[in-house]
Amino acid sequence: MKRFKVFLDVEKEEQWLNEQLEKGYRCTNISGLGIYTFEKTEKKYVMRLDYQADLSKRRLEEYKGIYEDFGWSYVKGFALNGIRYWQKEDDGQNEIFSDRESTVHYYRRLMKYSLWLGMLFLAYSFMIYNDSRLYHEGLWNMEGSLFWKALVFETPFALIKLLPAIMVVAFSLSFYKSYQKYVVLKGQ
Amino acid sequence: MKHKLLPLSETMHYILLALREPRHGYAVMQEIEKMSNGDVILAAGTLYGAIENLNKHGWIEPVGSSGRRRIYHITDEGREVLKTEQQRLQHILSLYEGSE
């Protein structure tokens, strides 16, 4: 089974993946373009997403080695965005973090992730919105039904142009979400 | 100012104690489970992060490998930290005794 899905929020992605596994699947591959491949299984699996950017070859090897010793298998990891996908058979010990300290660090890493992508889209937005308008200038001089037709015609293009700005908002929201969890855990 | 890892968290404390003998990551987890009578069972990400952190601060160091697993051992600095923590905890324990 293949599913196409795009996530901007690591925790939502983890939740969605586990919902698929609960239906009797296990994940066999994830492509960078948002294609998730699953296969039917009799066993119960769980997935956990970690965020680890900038792992040197040596550290990646050690990182993977420790998780594998604990029974996790590395489904996929993207060096570019730092998300690591771990899966194991459900055996009651299904968490990758066992204390508050390391969970706090996890949320701090997620904040970094949203911040970095948010900034990237923000910079991009500045570049493209600086010298172009959302709608064609002549549109606002049109009258009656011609105006409405032109507006409807141009709106999809305007939305595509708005996409980077939408991404900035989405990453800001997930930054804020991680930040809240970080603060609550850290304050305890 | 106090070191940012002090006072030691339960996880860090147990790892330093377990690494008074050279061990690889998974063996550290098993030893801690034994030492704590099954009370403290570290998860993979927590163990990995703690080892990285202790290594970065020079309290443990890699001393070799068995297959692809790296073996770590406590450093002299790490032993100093344990000694300081022992004194701190002994003091707290003495306060318990004083009040009864």
Separation between Cα atoms, residue A112 and residue A135, nearest integer Å = 34
Residues B62 and B72 sit within 8 Å (Cβ to Cβ): yes
Helix-helix angle B44-56:B25-35, to 10 degrees: 110
Question: Does the CB of A98 have a partner CB in chain B at under 8 Å?
Answer: yes
* pLDDT of amino acid A62: 93
Are A19 and A39 found together in one domain? yes
Mean pLDDT (chain A, rounded): 90
Residue A149 confidence class, pLDDT cut points 50, 70, 90: confident
**Is pLDDT of A180 > 80?**
yes
Residues A75 and A55 in one domain: yes
Q: How close is the nearest chain B Cα to the Cα of A172, in Å?
A: 26
For the residues A142-170, what does the mean pLDDT come to? 87
Nearest CB to A96: which of B9, B43, B68? B43
Burial of A66 (0-12, 13-18, 19+ CB in 10 A): buried
Task: Please indicate, yes or no, whether residues A107 and A80 belong to a single structural domain of this protein.
Answer: no
- Identify the domain boundary among A46, A70, A89: A89
Q: In whole angstroms, how far apart are CA B44 and each of A42, A140, B64, B81, B86? A: 25, 60, 21, 24, 27
Last residue of a domain, which of A59, A89, A119? A89
Nearest to B50 by CA among A64, A40, A102, A139: A102
Is residue A94 one of the residues assigned to a domain? no
| pLDDT over 70 (residue A43) | yes
Residues in chain B: 100
Q: Which has the closest alpha carbon to A89: A52, A50, A42, A49? A: A42
Q: A136 lies in a domain?
A: yes
Domain count, chain A: 2
Domain match, A117 and A169 both: yes
Residue A39 counted as domain residue: yes
Tokens of A11: 């925790």
Q: Which of A7-21, A163-177, B28-42, B86-100 shows the lowest per-residue confidence on average (mean pLDDT)?
A: B86-100
Residues A74 and A106 occupy one common structural domain: no
- State which amino acid sits at residue A17: L
Judgement on whether residues A105 and A85 belong to the same structural domain of the protein: no
Is A151 or B42 the better-scoring residue by pLDDT?
B42
Quick check: is A177 in a domain? Answer: yes
**Would you call A85 an interface residue with chain B, using a CB distance cutoff of 8 Å?**
no
In a shared domain, residues A143 and A113? yes
Cβ contact, residue pair A102, B25, below 8 Å:
no
Which amino acid does the sequence have at A59?
Answer: R
Quick one: pLDDT at residue A186?
A: 86
φ, ψ of residue A26 to 5 degrees: the values are: -130, 150
Instruction: Give backbone dihedrals phi and psi of B42, rounded to 5 degrees, phi first.
Output: -75, 145
Same domain, A80 and A110: no
State the Cα–Cα distance between residues B21 and B64, nearest whole angstrom: 13
The residues of chain B scoring below 50 in pLDDT are: none
Give the number of residues written for chain A: 188
Nearest by CB to A105, from B25, B49, B70: name it: B49
- Most confident residue range from A2-6, A78-82, A159-163, B70-74: B70-74
Say yes or no: A80 and A104 in one domain. Answer: no
Average pLDDT over residues A163-184: 92
> Are A47 and A125 in a shared domain?
no
For testing contact with chain B, the best of A102, A185, A188 (most B CBs within 10 A): A102
Residue A172 shares a structural domain with residue A119: yes
Q: Does B60 touch chain A (CB under 8 A)?
A: no
Cβ contacts of B9 on chain A, cutoff 8 Å? 99, 101
pLDDT > 90 in chain A, percent? 61
Q: Which residues in chain B touch residue A54, judged by CB atoms under 8 angstroms apart? A: none
Q: Please tell me what DSSP assigns to residue A47.
A: E
pLDDT at B32: 97
Task: Quote the pLDDT of residue B1.
Answer: 61
Answer yes or no: is pLDDT of A35 > 90.
yes
Q: Where does a domain end: A40, A67, A89?
A: A89
Instruction: Domain of residue A66: give its range.
Output: 2-89
**Is A95 part of a structural domain of the chain?**
no
A156 prior amide bond cis, ω within 30: no
Confidence of residue A81 (pLDDT cuts 50, 70, 90): confident
Q: Are B43 and A93 inside 8 Å of each other by CB?
A: yes
B85 and B8 Cβ atoms separated by less than 8 Å: yes
Are residues B50 and B12 in contact, defined by beta-carbon separation less than 8 angstroms? yes
Pick the CATH number of B10-98 from 3.40.50.2300, 1.10.10.10, 3.30.830.10, 3.40.50.920: 1.10.10.10
pLDDT-based confidence at residue A28 (cuts at 50, 70, 90)? very high
Q: Do A98 and B26 touch (CB under 8 A)?
A: no
Residue A35 identity (one-letter amino acid): I
Tokens of B60: 């443990």
pLDDT > 70? residue A102: yes
Q: What is the ipTM of this complex?
A: 0.91
pLDDT at B99: 61
